[in-house]
Amino acid sequence: MATASRTPVLSVEHLTMRFGGLTAVSDLSFDAFPREITAIIGPNGAGKTTVFNCITGFYKPTEGRICLRHSDAKEYLLERMDDFRIAQNARVARTFQNIRLFSGMTVLENLMVAQHNKLMAASGYTIAGIFGSGHFRRTEKEAIALATAWLEKVKLIDRADDPAGDLPYGDQRRLEIARAMCTDPRLLCLDEPAAGLNPRESEELNRLLKSIRAENDVSILLIEHDMSVVMGISDPIVVLDYGQKISDGDPTHVKTDPAVIRAYLGVEDEDEDALAAKAVSEAVGGKS
Q: Residues interacting with another protein, by CB under 8 A?
A: 56, 58, 83-88, 93-94, 96, 100-106, 108-109, 112-114, 116-117, 119-120, 123, 126, 129-130, 140, 144, 148, 157, 160-163, 165-166, 179-180, 183
| 68 strand-pairing partners | 10, 76
Distance of alpha carbon 146 from alpha carbon 157, whole angstroms: 12
Question: Which is nearer to another protein, 157 or 265 (by Cβ)?
Answer: 157
Question: Which is nearer to another protein, 63 or 140 (by Cβ)?
Answer: 140
Closest distance to another protein from the beta carbon of 252 (Å): 33
Asked if residue 53 lies in contact with residue 83, where contact means CB atoms within 8 angstroms, the answer is: no
Helix (H, G, I), strand (E, B) or coil at 43: coil
Amino acid at 100: R
Question: Which is nearer to another protein, 159 or 213 (by Cβ)?
Answer: 159
Question: Which is nearer to another protein, 181 or 246 (by Cβ)?
Answer: 181
The runs of H, that is alpha helices, within 123-198 are 127-130, 134-153, 169-181
CA torsion 268-271-272-273 (nearest 10°) is: 60
Closest distance to another protein from the beta carbon of 255 (Å): 32
Closest distance to another protein from the beta carbon of 12 (Å): 19
Closest distance to another protein from the beta carbon of 151 (Å): 8
Q: What are phi and psi of 152, to 5 degrees?
A: -65, -40
Asked if residue 67 lies in contact with residue 78, where contact means CB atoms within 8 angstroms, the answer is: yes
Amino acid at 32: A
Closest distance to another protein from the beta carbon of 112 (Å): 6
Question: Which is nearer to another protein, 2 or 119 (by Cβ)?
Answer: 119
Give just the sign of the alpha carbon dihedral 121, 124, 127, 132: negative
Question: Which is nearer to another protein, 80 or 207 (by Cβ)?
Answer: 80
Closest distance to another protein from the beta carbon of 134 (Å): 15
Distance of alpha carbon 147 from alpha carbon 151, whole angstroms: 6
